[in-house]
């Protein structure tokens, strides 16, 4: 009868453990990354008594975690892709907002106004008021070029800071993974349960995947090796190769901007790996910064350069709107009391294409005196409007892109491109979200906790517990019967 008591006790034990695990599952129903667990049980080793094989009850083999590493890998890849397009869409949408001028006066409209004010000046080149309108409109153009170029720079700078934060996050995750690698090995060496720690490690890998695409292998001690394509091994067992950031100047940076933040391996700070990341937010923001923003900055600079230099080259041929003394040789005086009488720039002549969008400004002479706005091609001809006409005609001249497009076409192409890129990113992002949702639900179906299922199990284990207790009670009754024999 002692064996009956033992069998009953083993049943109680297993049922109690099963109920505990059920409780653990239920309490973690909303824990992110939790995989449901289940008690593995088997019959205890039978003994042979008097030629009979006799069962000895049940025993707990261990607690198993439901998990499939292929599903996890698929999820991580889907996550990296999704985060890539999500971050790309988010940043490109911010960029396209700079160029949203369907109903507002954006650069295109102010440049249009600028050229039209020269047309107005051509009507009445004698009129000083129109000259001031021309100057005001030119100032609006300058302001808008600087707004666009400045906002692009700001966004680039914001991404720099994001890269730094992202790298700090990544390092923390890498250390966390290595740390968990160590704990799991130690506990498993002592036959301990590591389901929850493995969940945490999977979770850390998933968080890492949000930053960039990773590959994982498992070594003989169940430790994870984490690599990233093109970058190398980041975690090997307990060892971590951390990332670092350096700030570089214009010539060394990957986007041609001063103070650009570049990613390096901490041990090799001289070797940039900024452009090597694939997938995830890090690759997305770097791509936006190094490709999209850089291209826009170059385009805007190119447009600003073309615009100011071509206006200047015509303006220089004109004469100021003042009485100029004609010398004995019939040539007009080159200088008068207000300065040069011809050869004046309208805009400050940009030194190079680079930064032309930031450095655009009126020339000092136009700032100083309205009569320095030259509308006339001949001296002392206040009614001569040929320079004003010629400047206004630049609007429709193919002076951009090696003489293939007008400034407006070039600018509209730029906006068209950013619109296309943003639209594409948005569609890709929607798709990637769908794929991620699918991968997630695939994982959740296997590893997720179902309250209904656990409730059913709870009843099952509770009843098994009660039944085992009844066996013990029966054994007890049997003892009592035997003990009462003596009375």
Partner 1 sequence: MTRVSENSSTASLQYALNKTKAKVEDLQLKGSTLKAITRPSDNPVSNVEAMALTSSTNDNLQYLKNADFALLNLSVSEKSVEELTDIIVKAKEIAIAQSSDFFNADVRKNVANEVQQLYNQALAIANKKVGIKHIFSGTSTLTVPFDGNGNYKGDKGHISLEVSRNFFVPINLTGEEVFYNTTDTVKAENPLEKFDQFKDAPSVKLNRDLASVESEGAKVEGAEGTEDGFKSRDNIFSQLQALTSALENNDPQMIQGLLEKFDNTVSRLVTLRTRIGSITNSVESSKNNLSNENIEHASRRSALVDADVTELFSDINKQQAILKTTYQASQGLMNQSLMDFLRR
Q: What is the total count of residues that contact partner 1 (CB under 8 A)?
A: 78
For the record, the structure tokens of 25 come out as 């599952």
Q: For residue 372, what is the enclosing H or E element?
A: none
Minimum distance of partner 1 from residue 110's CB (angstroms): 11
Of the residues 42, 123, 165, 186, which one makes contact with partner 1 according to CB under 8 A? 123
Choices 201-209, 264-272, 297-305, 436-444 (CB under 8 A): range interacting with partner 1: 436-444
116 belongs to the binding site for partner 1 (CB under 8 A): yes
Of the residues 20, 68, 90, 126, which one makes contact with partner 1 according to CB under 8 A? 126
92 belongs to the binding site for partner 1 (CB under 8 A): yes
| Torsion over CA: 64, 67, 68, 73 (sign) | negative
36 belongs to the binding site for partner 1 (CB under 8 A): yes
3 touches 52 (CB < 8 A): no
Distance CA 447, CA 67 (A): 6
Of the residues 2, 30, 191, 328, which one makes contact with partner 1 according to CB under 8 A? 30
Q: By C-beta, is 233 or 395 nearer to partner 1?
A: 395
Residues 175-234 interacting with partner 1 (rule: CB under 8 A):
none
Distance CA 8, CA 43 (A): 13
| DSSP 8-class letter at 289 | I
Q: By C-beta, is 42 or 109 nearer to partner 1?
A: 109
Of the residues 54, 229, 431, 455, which one makes contact with partner 1 according to CB under 8 A? 455
Choices 101-109, 162-170, 174-182, 252-260 (CB under 8 A): range interacting with partner 1: 101-109
Residues 396-415 interacting with partner 1 (rule: CB under 8 A):
396-397, 399, 408, 412-413, 415
287 touches 238 (CB < 8 A): no
Residues 299-358 interacting with partner 1 (rule: CB under 8 A):
310, 313-314, 317
Choices 281-289, 378-386, 460-468, 479-487 (CB under 8 A): range interacting with partner 1: 378-386
Q: By C-beta, is 258 or 378 nearer to partner 1?
A: 378
Q: By C-beta, is 233 or 417 nearer to partner 1?
A: 417
Q: For residue 56, what is the enclosing H or E element?
A: none
Single out the residue of 42, 72, 70, 68 nearest to residue 57, CA to CA: 42
Strand partners, 48: 53
For the record, the structure tokens of 401 come out as 């892109």
Query: Which region holds residue 15: left if phi is over 0, alpha if psi is between -120 and 50, else beta?
Result: alpha
Of the residues 180, 320, 377, 432, which one makes contact with partner 1 according to CB under 8 A? 377
HEC readout, 118-157: HHHHHHCCCCHHHHHHHHHHHHHHHHHHHHHHHHHHHHHH
Q: Which of helix, strand or coil describes residue 217?
A: strand
Of the residues 137, 216, 341, 422, which one makes contact with partner 1 according to CB under 8 A? 422
């Amino acid at each position: 009868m002692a064996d009956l008591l033992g069998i009953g006790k083993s049943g109680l034990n297993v049922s109690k453990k099963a109920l505990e695990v059920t409780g653990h599952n239920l309490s973690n129903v909303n824990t992110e990354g939790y995989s449901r667990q289940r008690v593995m049980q088997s019959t205890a080793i039978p003994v042979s008594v008097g030629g009979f094989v006799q069962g000895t009850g049940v025993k707990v083999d261990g607690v198993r975690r439901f998990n499939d590493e292929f599903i996890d890998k698929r999820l991580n890849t889907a996550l990296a892709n999704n985060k890539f397009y999500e971050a790309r869409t988010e940043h490109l949408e911010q960029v396209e907002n700079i160029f949203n001028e369907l109903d507002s006066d954006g650069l295109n409209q102010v440049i249009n106004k600028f050229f039209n004010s020269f047309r107005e000046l051509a009507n009445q080149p004698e009129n000083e008021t129109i000259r001031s309108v021309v100057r005001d409109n030119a100032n609006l153009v300058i302001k808008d070029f600087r707004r666009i170029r400045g906002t692009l720079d700001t966004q680039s700078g914001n991404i720099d800071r994001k890269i730094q934060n992202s790298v700090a996050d990544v390092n923390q995750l890498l250390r966390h993974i290595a740390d968990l690698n160590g704990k799991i090995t130690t506990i498993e060496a002592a036959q301990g349960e590591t389901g929850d720690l493995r969940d945490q490690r999977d979770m850390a890998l998933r968080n890492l995947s949000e930053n960039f695409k990773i590959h994982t292998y498992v070594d003989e001690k169940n430790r994870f090796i984490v690599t990233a394509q093109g970058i190398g091994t980041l975690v090997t067992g307990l060892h971590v190769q951390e990332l670092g950031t350096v700030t570089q100047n214009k010539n060394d940076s990957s986007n041609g901007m001063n103070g650009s933040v570049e990613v390096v391996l901490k041990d090799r700070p001289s070797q940039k790996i900024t452009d090597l990341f694939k997938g995830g937010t890090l690759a997305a923001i770097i791509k936006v910064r190094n490709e999209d923003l850089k291209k826009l900055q170059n385009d805007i600079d190119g447009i600003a350069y073309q615009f100011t230099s071509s206006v200047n080259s015509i303006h220089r041929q004109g004469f100021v709107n003042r009485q100029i003394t004609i010398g004995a040789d019939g040539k007009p005086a080159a200088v008068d009391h207000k300065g040069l009488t011809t050869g004046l720039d309208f805009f400050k002549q940009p030194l190079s294409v680079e930064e032309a969008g930031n450095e655009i400004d009126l020339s000092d002479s136009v700032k100083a005196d309205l009569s320095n706005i030259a509308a006339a091609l001949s001296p002392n001809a206040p009614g001569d409007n040929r320079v004003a006409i010629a400047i206004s005609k630049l609007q429709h001249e193919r002076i951009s892109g090696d003489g293939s497009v007008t400034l407006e076409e070039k600018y509209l192409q730029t906006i068209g491109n950013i619109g296309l890129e943003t639209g594409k990113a948005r569609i890709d992002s929607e798709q990637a979200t769908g794929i991620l949702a699918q991968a997630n639900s695939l994982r959740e179906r296997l590893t997720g906790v179902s309250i209904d299922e656990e409730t059913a199990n709870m009843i099952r284990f509770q009843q098994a517990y009660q039944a085992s207790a009844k066996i013990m009670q029966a054994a007890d009754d049997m003892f009592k019967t035997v003990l009462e024999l003596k009375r």
